[in-house]
Amino acid sequence: MAKNEYESSSSALIQLDLFNTPKNLFDKITINFFCVTCFTMTVLLTTVICAVTFFRYVLQGDLYGYEEWVKLFAFWLYFAGAAAGAWARTHISADLVNVYVKRGLLRNGLIFLRNLISFSVCAVFTWYALKFFLFGYTGPLGTGIAIPKTTVWRIPYWAGYLSVLTGIGFMTFYFCRDFIISARYLFKRSPK
């Protein structure tokens, strides 16, 4: 299983194709959830913002407080996209190791270290994101009083915070997957 994840010519983890790679059941459910969320949010944003333009220009009317909805949709788009990006390994990085370090123990070690850092740093931020979400969910005093909400539609902020927690949480999960693969690769030296 693990060796398929590596490009034949290098020890780097390959990017995964969102739409064609066979997935296990868990990935199928989660990745589909993120893809559908991305698609739905893009469609909703386009529709709502076009409708706002139409209402103002043609009917001189207004979709009052629409900002609050589109910002919420945008956050789910951003973080569902980021989570799926972590699964597909498309996060931006300056990949100098693959370019300058020859195949071998040093390179495998550096890739292991990089995945270890990615996973552990992201895990710490998942913890922060959880506390951030709980702050919105239970209110600033932790008592359910004064739960922060938007001004017009009174949408609770935690609806947006939850996207951050989900996004960073799943990024951590997929970085952990890569970390385990590279650990196996390092300690077994070279899978044939």
Partner 1 sequence: FASPTILKFAGQSAANHPATAFMNDIASQVKEKTDGRIEIKVYPSSQLGNYSTVYQEQIQGTIALSCISLPSDFDPRMELVYINGYVNSYEDARRIFAPDQWMFQKLSEFNERLGVKLLGFFIEGFIGIGTTKEVAEPLNPNVSKGAVVRIPNMNVYKFGAEAMGYKTVGIPYPEVYQAIQTRVVDGVDGYPVAAAYTNLSDAIKYWYNTKYSIEFQGCMVSEKIWKTITPADQKVIQDIFTSATMASIDNAKEIDDHYMELMRKKGITVYDYTSEELAPMTAAIVKTWPKLKKTMNPELIDEFVKEMAPKK
Partner 2 sequence: MIFLALIILMFCLVIGVPVPVSFMASSLVLIFFGGPDGAGYAASQLLPYGYQQMNSVPLIAIALFIAAGGIMEKGKIGGHLIDFVDVFVGHKHGGLGIVATISCAIVGSICGAAVATLSCVGSIMFPRFEKENYPRGLSAALIANASLLGLLIPPNATLIIFAWISGQSVLACFLATVIPGFITIILLCTVNGWILKRYDMKVTNEKRNRTTADKIALFKSRGKTAIPSLFLPIIVLGGIYGGIMTTTEASSMAILYAIPVGMFIYKGLNLKNTYQTLVEAAITTGVIMVMLYCVSMLSRLYLLEDLPGVLLTLFQGISDNPLVIMLMINIFLVVMGMLMDDISVVVLTTPILLPIVMQIGYDPIHYAAIVGVNTGLGCITPPAAPVLYLSGRLSGTPIDEMMGPCLWFIGLCWIPVLAITVLMPKISLLLPHFILGAAW
Residues at the site binding partner 2, with contacts judged by CB under 8 A: 18-19, 35, 38-39, 41-43, 45-46, 49-50, 52-53, 57, 67, 70-71, 74-75, 77-85, 88, 90-100, 110-111, 113-114, 117-118, 121-122, 124-125, 128-129, 131-132, 135, 160-161, 164, 167, 171, 175
46 touches which of partner 2, partner 1, none (CB within 5 to 8 A by kind)? partner 2
Taking residues 134 to 163 in sequence order and writing x for each that binds partner 1 by CB under 8 A, - otherwise, the string is -x---xxx---xxxxxxxx-x--x------
CB of 190 to partner 2, least distance (A): 20
Task: Give whichever of 69 and 125 is closer to partner 1, judged by the CB atom.
Answer: 69
Alpha carbon 140 to chain centroid, angstroms: 26
| CB 126 within 8 Å of CB 168 | yes
Query: 71-130: which residues touch partner 1 (CB under 8 A)?
Result: none
60 touches which of partner 1, partner 2, none (CB within 5 to 8 A by kind)? partner 1
Long-range contacts for 68-74 (Cβ within 8 Å, ≥24 apart)?
68/150, 68/151, 68/152, 68/153, 68/155, 69/153, 69/155, 70/45, 71/160, 72/155, 72/159, 72/160, 73/41, 73/44, 73/45, 73/48, 74/41, 74/45
Q: CA–CA distance from 83 to each of 33, 38, 86, 112, 175 (Å)? A: 11, 10, 5, 21, 10
152 touches which of partner 2, partner 1, none (CB within 5 to 8 A by kind)? partner 1
